[in-house]
Amino acid sequence: MKLAYYPGCVSLSTGKEMDRSTRAVFSSLEIELEELEDWNCCGATHVSNEMVATGLAARNMSQTELDIVTSCSICYSNLRAAAMKLEDVEIRAKVNSVLEKEYKGAKIRHALDVILEVLEKDDQGIVVPLKELKVAAYYGCLLSRPPGVYSPEYPVVLEKLIRILQADAVDFRRKTFCCGGPIFMPKEEAANETAYRILKDAKEAGAEVIITVCPLCQFMLDTKQRSVEQRYGEEIGIPVLYVTQLVGIALGLGPDDLGMDMNAVSPMPMMERIYQRMAEQ
């Protein structure tokens, strides 16, 4: 399988572990990624002009005829939304009038969807079964938007993948709540409280790890976790991994391959428990 790869801006900065683990997992699954040669910002939520955002996304999508995969749910949502807008003949004509390459249509896929498709057909690549590992699947806002692929009310795709990895998906009632990231700058206190409630809910559900598909969610739940603990005087201590990092563990990839040193809350104790349980079985 060969796919075009859109890394997104965060993969070059605070989300390097997302990019590194994506490349490592896809290589392990023998999926060839061809990075878009001259990609730009997807037209993320801070681009207030809708036509400009659509044009930015179209410029990326016009570079290939392959299906385009991304690991970032923000990029995934923006590219899909743009592709839907570009079905309008007038919008497409207006956008194409300023593009170097004509946009002719595109199929956008999330890395989660591709990985699940491969492992559903053949899970023999799993060399480290994640038995007894209790995983909280955190979706956030954008994976299910725009609608048409995943249920916005009750998505189950992450739980499905968790079971294929032989782990236990915990019942996590705040799995589709906003992480608070979009209001972090103007309303930091409210954002911190939102993150605290999500983390506390996961802990009370018995989770040993939270998985996410969004770098903004990763920032709020992982990078900000220590400050949230200090603010509320409560130790949480739950590692938050990108879904590609968790899959990588099950595929037998090492911490360096998956960028585990970049996680704020170290996942190494959790990984040691995984290997210990495996040795005892």
pLDDT value for 123: 77
Cβ within 8 Å of residue 149, ≥6 positions away? 80, 110, 113
Output the pLDDT for position 30. 96
What is the domain partition of the chain in residue ranges?
Answer: 2-111, 124-280
51 token code pair: 């036509």
Q: Examine the pLDDT at 216 and tell me if it is beyond 80.
A: yes
For the stretch 40-75, pLDDT in tens is 999 876 688 999 999 999 999 999 999 999 999 999
3-class DSSP string for the chain: CEEEECCCHHHHCCCHHHHHHHHHHHHHCCCEEEECCCCCCCCCCCCCCHHHHHHHHHHHHCCCCCCEEECCHHHHHHHHHHHHHCCCHHHHHHHHCCCCCCCCCCCEEEHHHHHHHHHHHCCCCCCCCCCCCEEEECCCCCCCCCCCCCCCCCCCHHHHHHHHCCCEECCCCCCCCCCCHHHCCCCHHHHHHHHHHHHHHHHHCCCCEEEECCHHHHHHHHHCHHHHHHHHCCCCCCCEEEHHHHHHHHCCCCHHHHCHHHCCCCCHHHHHHHHHHHHHC
The pLDDT of 81-88, averaged and rounded, is 97
Fold of 2-111: Glutathione S-transferase Yfyf (Class Pi); Chain A, domain 2 (1.20.1050)
pLDDT attached to residue 43? 87
Better pLDDT: 48 or 34: 34
Look up the pTM and report it. 0.96
Q: Give the pLDDT confidence of 90-124 residue by residue, as tens digits.
A: 999 999 999 999 999 999 999 999 999 999 998 78
* CATH pick for 124-280 out of 3.40.250.10, 3.40.50.11810, 3.30.300.30, 3.30.1360.30: 3.40.50.11810
Q: What is the pLDDT of residues 159-183, one digit of tens each?
A: 999 999 999 999 888 999 999 999 9
In this model, does residue 14 exceed pLDDT 80?
A: yes
Q: Can you give the pLDDT at residue 28? A: 97
The share of the chain scoring above pLDDT 90, in percent, equals 90
Q: For residue range 262-271, what is the model confidence (pLDDT) as tens digits?
A: 999 999 999 9
